[in-house]
Amino acid sequence: MSLRIGDPAPNFKAQTSIGDIDFYEFLGDSWGVLFSHPADYTPVCTTELGRTALLKGEFEKRNVKVLALSVDSAESHKGWIKDINETQNTNVEFPIIADEDKKIADLYDMIHPNASETLTVRSLFVISPDKKVKLMLTYPASTGRNFNEVLRVIDSLQLTAKYSVATPADWNDGDDVVVMNSIKTEDIPERFPKGHKVIKPYLRTTPQPNK
C-alpha cells in the first residue's frame, strides 16, 4: 500500500556511502529529506546531488538531515560522488543509500511501473522529528527537482507545526500568513499581536509570527 501524508515513515537499515545506518537513528530529533534517484552516473541526478550539497548550510539551519537513495551499490556511489564533487564544485557529505534489492524503494513506493519497471522515479519525502511523512513530491526522471522549493516547503511545515497558521500561494519565509479558521476573528489579537487583516470572514492574514 502506498504511503500518504501523515503516515509513519517506514524505518530501515541500509548500506550507504558513509557506512551502515539505521534510518531512525540517523535522523534522531532532526527533520529529514529522503530523495531517490534512478541510477548512479545519471546527468540530472548529478546536478541535484550537487545542488543539495551546496545547500548544506541551509538544511543545517533548519535542523534537516538529507539522505539520497539509488539502486546501485555503495562502492558505485563513492565513485559517483567524486564526479559530483568535481563537476558541481561541491563536497557531498550526506549519505547516499545503496538499494540494490529495491527494498527501500518498495517501502516508499518509489518505483512506478508505468514510468519504468526498474528505475525509481524522482521521489522526495520530508519527514518530521516524530517520523511522520509531511510532504511527498514526485517528478518524472527527465525533470530535475527545485531545491529552493524544498526549502520553502520545509519553512512552511516548521512554521505551521508551531503556530495556528497556514501559508498562502507563493509564500516565502517572512511573508504574511493565513490565520487558521479554527481561531475566531475576535481572538486573533491575543494570539497574533502583530496585527491582522480581515479580507473575508474566512480569509484573515497576519505577519509571520516567528519573525
Residues 141-150: contacts with CB under 8 Å, at least 24 apart: 141/38, 141/44, 141/115, 141/116, 142/44, 143/44, 144/44, 144/47, 144/48, 145/35, 145/48, 147/48, 147/51, 147/52, 147/55, 150/33, 150/124, 150/126
Which residue type, as a one-letter code, is found at position 80?
A: W
Tell me, yes or no, if 45 is annotated catalytic: yes
End-to-end CA distance of the chain: 40
Q: Which of 9, 27, 45, 119 is catalytic?
A: 45
Q: Which residues have a catalytic role annotated? A: 45
